[in-house]
Amino acid sequence: MIDMKLIRENPELVKENIKKKHQNEKLPLVDKIKKLDEEWRKLKYNEDGLRSERNKISKEINQAKKNKKDASTLIKKAKEIPKKIEKSQEKRKKLEKEIKEIMFKIPNIIHKSVPIGKSDKENKEIKKIGKSKKFSFSVKSHVELGESLGMLDFDTSTKTSGKGFYFLKGDLALLNMALINFARDFMVKQDFEYVEPPLMIRKEILSGVYSHAEIKQMAYKVDGEDLYLIATSEHPLIGQFINKVVKKKELPIKQTAYSMCFRKEIGSHGIDEKGIYRTHQFNKQEMVVVCEPEDSYKWYDKMLKFSLDLFKVLEIPVRVLECCSGDLADLKTKSCDLEAWSPRQKKYFEITSLTNMEEAQARRLNIKIEDKGKRYYAHTLNNTVIATSRAIVAIMENNQQKDGSIKIPKVLWKYMGGKKVIKKEVNKK
């Protein structure tokens, strides 16, 4: 959410930003907000005038009583003022609600470095790490590999839970836990505080990070309660600070969390409909930073480096894709995706996403910094450390061998009890 002051003083800048994001249908909202804000300020001005008048009349009443004069007319007039103020406040609160709902639809001002484009097809590749491997045999998908190993079961999960779920078994399940433990240790070494958050949050928090449409599309609601299953641990991590004032000396706040995540959405139908790339339930390690506005882009660069370093030691070929203006969600000022190479599809696929929201998220959740008596909004950033299911897809495809076994990245050996290869288990008699 942007600052109302910006719409008051520079509505053309806000409109130009909307055009850059190719959301021209939202242009009339700027003028609508401006008009509603003018009505709100007029009501506020009149209320202040009524209060001033009430104070003046109160003094006149006191003076009349002291002088033993009739104050009945003044008292009657004074009694009418609170009703007028109350009526004005009711109108103003309705306007505030309407303004807030519209403000949530206005996109954040994008950073000057963001490339202009209509969709993700115009995102810009800015870096590559690692080389794609060459195979002397036909490359299999993670589904084929997992099912042939007897460690991925989609048929049973469809019966127990429906589409978008899976049973992960044996060494593949242990690989999942190895990635979680590795990612946790990696972030703790970067001096991030490890947190285990609640897996449910209230709508007040969710509304601070999602639009109403996104909540309806993605979030699982607990029937009969003001609770939703989390789609990412970023939400409860940031939600901790709702309506809080953080001392400048306490910054930056750096936290990392592992959690199960739950989302309604399922990806496009087709070749990857069956698989673990996009599912209703998955494991994710997240990192968030709450910092001084002047430091947020330094943290953006640091957080990107963390991601690159992590996947470098996992020996997965990746690239960084800068999100163009048309591919940025409304709260984002700057964002990039880290993509892993798929030798089967012969293209890259998204595995993590880094975002700087500047003060937009802090405005929604009312997170402020206090420094020498001055209060102002914090900047917030988030980045996926690892979504284990997507990392497993990358490891399986890039590390597969001709016999269908999977080589485990060296950095994970200690988390796998020294095991170096995942292969089909032979039943022992």
CATH number of the domain that residue 400 is part of: 3.30.930.10
- Average pLDDT on 85-113 reads 91
| Residue 110 placed within a domain | no
Same domain, 78 and 131: no
Same domain, 263 and 380: yes
**Structural element, H or E, at residue 241:** none
**Which pLDDT score is estimated for 271?**
38
Structure confidence by residue, pLDDT tens digits, 326-379: 999 899 999 999 999 999 989 999 999 999 999 999 999 999 999 999 999 999
**What CATH number does residue 46 fall under?**
1.10.287.40
CA distance linking residue 75 with residue 336, whole number of Å:
65
Q: How many domains does the chain have?
A: 2
Same domain, 76 and 202: no
**Are 353 and 337 contacting, i.e. CB atoms less than 8 angstroms apart?**
yes
Structure confidence by residue, pLDDT tens digits, 174-222: 999 999 999 999 999 999 999 999 999 999 999 888 777 778 888 899 9
Q: Which of 54, 69, 103 is the last residue of a domain?
A: 103
Same domain, 46 and 146: no
**Structural element, H or E, at residue 186:** helix 170-189
Q: Which of 73, 103, 133 is the last residue of a domain?
A: 103
> Is pLDDT larger for residue 122 or for residue 425?
122
| Residue 279 placed within a domain | yes
Same domain, 31 and 170: no
For residue 28, CA distances in Å to 31, 33, 37, 116, 312 come to 6, 9, 14, 22, 47
3-state secondary structure of 333: coil
For 396-411, the DSSP string reads HHHSB-TTS-EEPPGG
Which residues span the domain enclosing 157?
Answer: 120-422
| Residue 112 placed within a domain | no
Spell out where 69-223 has E strands. 124-129, 152-153, 167-168, 193-195, 200-201
CA distance linking residue 152 with residue 223, whole number of Å:
31
CA distance linking residue 54 with residue 78, whole number of Å:
6
Question: Tokens 């975002």 sit at which residue?
Answer: 355
Same domain, 81 and 124: no
Q: Which of 48, 68, 103 is the last residue of a domain?
A: 103
